[in-house]
Amino acid sequence: MQLNCLQENLSQGLGIVQRAVATRTTLPITQHVLLSTDEGRLKLSATNLEIAISTWVGSEILEEGSITIPARLLTEFVNSLEKQTIAVSTASSGTGIEVKGDRVEATMNGADASEFPPIPSVDQGVSTKIAGKTLKDAIHQVVLAAAVEDSRPVLTGVNIEIEGSQITFAAADGFRLAVRTAELLEPVNEKLSIIVPSRTLSEIERLIEGDEPVDFVITTQRSQALFRLKNVEVVSQLIQGTFPNYSQLIPQERTTRAIVDLGELQRATRTASIFAKDGSGIIRVQIFPEDSAGPGKLTISSRAEEVGDNTGDIAAEVEGSEGKIAFNSRYLSDVLAVLNKDKVALEMTTSSSPGVIRPLDNEDYVHVVMPMFVQW
């Protein structure tokens, strides 16, 4: 293998695949990056056996070939160089590369490309397209609710349901639920449901730039999914199992609804969180409808026995009766951070029932948060 490429292009490509490199593994080859020539470009690939990321870097290919090199070593070396043209060639040993720049050169030992785990080819199966910005926004609004603990593997993923031209993303960790619906650019003839690891979707969100369509392919066996972006392909194993029936967790009735300014609610929540950190992370929310004493308002408070307390009021359009509910401060902060409307609606029934948070006049997104039980 022999080629020339720009330092900044190689650095960017290595940065893209780096996130799929295994960190702790019993298979050392998964800590390597695969370099191979592909139709006049340099292809970089990395996999941790759950997710594989490949990207293509514009290069002048002088001789075809492939080899694997420790990802961390190659990335750190390339990143240390100034912007310049880099010459990469197979070392005389046959299992390494020589990298030459303007005033620097290095030899790196690697392994034969045949030792690298094969990256699954996902060509056959259900195929569709979704706008890049739509997918990025949907992932951003849902992935925060996925579980981090592996005690129930299905909850560490995001459930994706496709029917016709509609796609629905849902994630839940037992304390909160996020559901986002969106439109596909190409309808699908069959109804299907899969669970994609949340880590995979977080990488997809990171990689999407602009609004170019993203190709989405699911294998016939429902075991893998491919996301094809501009110059990047991500192949992920899917989580096997049955996702909980989350629709029954979304309250269908409400006794109280408060519409407030998102920015004001974020500020009040941020302030209350300072005290909540020392008080079991609890934020209390009280909703007061308009009456003879004044207009409707929402009161946010928190207290910690040894630190102190805090109370803040924000104006609210209130429908229904007076209500009160307590939330985990982090869960409330998380959902407010992913909303993209100026107004937000908080809906509830009782202090022991889930609270529902939605952007105003937008039926595409709903977030359900379980209440904290407190002494009022």
Specify the pLDDT at position 291: 87
Q: Which residue in 25, 250, 43, 41 sits closest to 33, CA to CA?
A: 43
Which phi and psi (to 5°) does residue 80 adopt? -80, -10
Residue 279 has pLDDT above 80, yes or no: no
Residue 292 has pLDDT above 80, yes or no: no
CATH number reported for the structural domain that contains residue 323 in this entry: 3.10.150.10
Helix, strand, or coil (residue 73)? helix
pLDDT tens for 60-75 read 999 999 999 999 999 9
95 shares its domain with 174: no
Domain assignment present for residue 374? The answer is: no
145 shares its domain with 85: no
3-state secondary structure 157-212: EEEEEEEEEEEEEEEECCCEEEEEEEEEEEEEEEEEEEEEEHHHHHHHHHHCCCCC
pLDDT tens for 323-364 read 999 999 999 999 999 998 899 999 999 999 999 999 998 889
Percentage with pLDDT > 90 across the chain: 87
Q: Which of 189, 220, 248 is the last residue of a domain?
A: 248
321 shares its domain with 213: no
DSSP bridge partners of 3: 61, 88
55 shares its domain with 168: no
Domain assignment present for residue 290? The answer is: yes
75 shares its domain with 25: yes
210 shares its domain with 319: no
Q: Which of 92, 115, 138 is the last residue of a domain?
A: 115
Specify the pLDDT at position 340: 86
Mean pLDDT of all residues belonging to the chain? 94
Q: Is 220 exposed, middle or buried (0-12, 13-18, 19+ CB in 10 A)?
A: exposed
pTM, rounded to two decimals:
0.93
Q: Confidence class of residue 305 from pLDDT cuts 50, 70 and 90?
A: confident
Mode of pairing for the β-strands spanning 308-315 and 317-320: unpaired
279 shares its domain with 208: no
Domain assignment present for residue 239? The answer is: yes
Specify the pLDDT at position 372: 94
143 shares its domain with 210: yes
Residue 1 has pLDDT above 80, yes or no: yes
- Asked if 44 and 260 count as a contact pair (C-beta separation under 8 A), the reply is no
Helix, strand, or coil (residue 26)? coil
242 shares its domain with 145: yes
- Distance CA(347)–CA(370), nearest Å, equals 12
Domain assignment present for residue 107? The answer is: yes
Specify the pLDDT at position 294: 85
Q: Which residue in 121, 180, 164, 156 sits closest to 368, CA to CA?
A: 180
Domain assignment present for residue 289? The answer is: yes
55 shares its domain with 154: no
Check the CA dihedral 356-357-359-365 and report its sign.
Answer: negative
218 shares its domain with 296: no
Q: Which residue in 326, 318, 341 sits closest to 374, CA to CA?
A: 326
Which residues neighbour 162 within 8 Å (Cβ) at sequence distance 6 or greater? Answer: 126, 128, 168, 184, 188, 191, 192, 193
Q: Which residue in 211, 252, 247 sits closest to 229, CA to CA?
A: 211
Domain assignment present for residue 176? The answer is: yes
Structural domain count, the chain: 3
- Distance CA(334)–CA(336), nearest Å, equals 6
Q: Is 292 exposed, middle or buried (0-12, 13-18, 19+ CB in 10 A)?
A: exposed
Which phi and psi (to 5°) does residue 240 adopt? -90, 140
Domain assignment present for residue 336? The answer is: yes
175 shares its domain with 205: yes
Q: Which residue has the tokens 């299905």?
A: 154
Domain assignment present for residue 375? The answer is: no
Q: Which of 213, 248, 283 is the last residue of a domain?
A: 248
**Residue ranges making up the domain that contains 71:** 2-115
